[in-house]
Amino acid sequence: MQVVVNNQDTHHHHPHSSSSSSKEKSTTFHLLCKNHKLYLAPMVLQSELAFRLLCKKYNQNIITYTPMISSKKFVNDKTYRKHHFQTATGDRPLIAQFCGDNAATLIEATNLIKDQIDAVDLNLGCPENIARKGDYGTFLLRNTKKVVSIVKEMVEALKPLPVTCKIRLLEYGNHIPEFQRGLAGTIQLCQDLENVGCSMICVHARTRHNKGRKISQADFDAIREIKNNVQHIPIIANGNIASKEDIIDCYKLIGNIDGIMSAEAILGNPTLFEAIEYNNENNIMMFNNTKVGQHHMPSEIANEYIDFAEKYPPFDIMKIVKPHVYRILHGLFQYDEKLLERLQKCKKDLNEYKIIIQDAFALEQKLLDGLNKLEHYHGIVGKKNEMKTKFISTLLSSYYYRHRPKNVLPEKIQKVLMMRQIIQNDDDNNNMNIDDGSKNTLLNTDLQQQHQLQGGGKKLSQHERRMQLKEERQKWMEFGVRISR
């Protein structure tokens, strides 16, 4: 059973007039949250209209956010406002996220679009240095009393529009006052936000230092404790979601959570939510059996995104479209370094990206053909669909795992080298029938290359071994790092 809320009906009965009570709006929003358990995260320049609609094409039953918007610029600059807030039919339910440290400005910015959104969110999670300069995002959490005061003003001024917050865990350290330190401080903050009328809190269960190459597992235990102490408003979990299986596991593991949000994983795989549905009667997250076995190759998804980008053009192709294509195709670059180099040269013409995607499609066909040969190589003929599913899943989760240890395992490098060898042989018109002799040749070639990666026989420490593997990955990632910034 798949629970779907009729967005059009929600809009028609969604109270925005001054005569509507706060209680009515709160009830409507909580009903919305009750029936929508999946959330597309707010991401700077990346959760724009075209991408939101792409994700909703694969699962309409999700709540999406705008990219993080500067409240000050939104109020003062009409061009900025036009560029950073787009909406269209099918875009609801939608939450607009603003950053800033001035309640009056945040309220003024929200009032400009309040009839086009279902809630407004205060960004308290951005960990980047630009947020430090502007005293917003996670840096605003250093003064929790100010945060609570801002949210209280927003709630009072914007009634009946719901006000929500997206936070990170507060930092640990004896230099920080106890009331705003660590998990206990985070729980206190969430309780204070609930008391002043915040309608929902999304918790990214990492601190501001836990990002990029320093990233580690999100703390689901912390989210569970927060929910145990904040029971009257929805608490959404963010972190550790790399696959559809992780969504199910997260919901089971935390147990009492009200929803799950994805950011990095869905950038690489916009179909992430496709096979997930929520059973409201039994309060369980489950797979939709009619969709769980569907395969979408990266080039297919990238083409879909370009279609939406043509229909709803983002204001900056280089800063928005190019990173999306890069992230969706990320898993293919390890098999063809030149594909990434060609993408790096793309500018403002969407047709250039279409050509790259066509090249990606051709590469995928070679990889699938190579996968068939790899089945014979491993002697596991008959498991074609299973291997294909796992392989596509690996391609689509590649961007999420770029900073995580799973991406530098020796056996993964060996398989990549093996597939590249097969592709190279095909390109040289030496189509292989992988008999015992060529199996040994291929295996020896791959093991020699892996042996070189691991130090040529020298016993390396775990750190040295990872550094060697990073150098190999750097060949195809060096341009991508610049694209993704």
Sorted by where each starts, the structural domains of the chain and their CATH numbers stand as 7-287 (3.20.20.70), 332-484 (no CATH)
Which secondary structure element, helix H or strand E, spans residue 69, and what is its range?
A: strand 69-70
Q: Is 471 exposed, middle or buried (0-12, 13-18, 19+ CB in 10 A)?
A: exposed
CB 63 within 8 A of CB 55: no
pLDDT for residue 439: 38
CB 276 within 8 A of CB 287: yes
CB 198 within 8 A of CB 165: yes
pLDDT for residue 172: 73
- Output the CA angle 42-406-359, nearest 5 degrees: 70
375 contact partners, CB below 8 Å, separation of at least 6? 381, 383, 384, 387
CB 363 within 8 A of CB 356: no
Query: In this predicted model, what pLDDT tens digit does every residue of 236-268 receive, in sequence order?
Result: 999 989 889 999 999 988 988 999 999 999 999
Q: Whole-angstrom Cα distance, residue 164 to residue 121? A: 5
- Return averaged pLDDT per consecutive 10 residues of the chain, 485 residues in all: 34 38 62 92 95 96 96 96 96 96 97 97 83 78 93 96 95 72 91 96 85 75 95 93 91 90 95 91 83 88 98 96 97 92 95 97 90 62 70 89 59 58 57 40 38 47 63 47 37
What residue ranges in 59-198 does DSSP mark as E strands? Answer: 62-65, 69-70, 94-99, 119-124, 163-168
Give the CA radius of gyration of the chain. Answer: 24
Strand partners, 279: 284
pLDDT for residue 135: 77
**Residues noted as catalytic:** 126
pLDDT for residue 93: 96
How far is C-alpha 109 from the chain's CA centre? 26
pLDDT for residue 83: 96
pLDDT for residue 418: 61
Q: Whole-angstrom Cα distance, residue 51 to residue 312? A: 10
User: What would the DSSP string read from start to end of 304-317?
Assistant: HHHHHHHHS--S-I
Closest Cα to residue 401, out of 454, 334, 449?
A: 334
Which secondary structure element, helix H or strand E, spans residue 238, and what is its range?
A: strand 235-238
How far is C-alpha 101 from the chain's CA centre? 26
Q: Whole-angstrom Cα distance, residue 442 to residue 249? A: 38
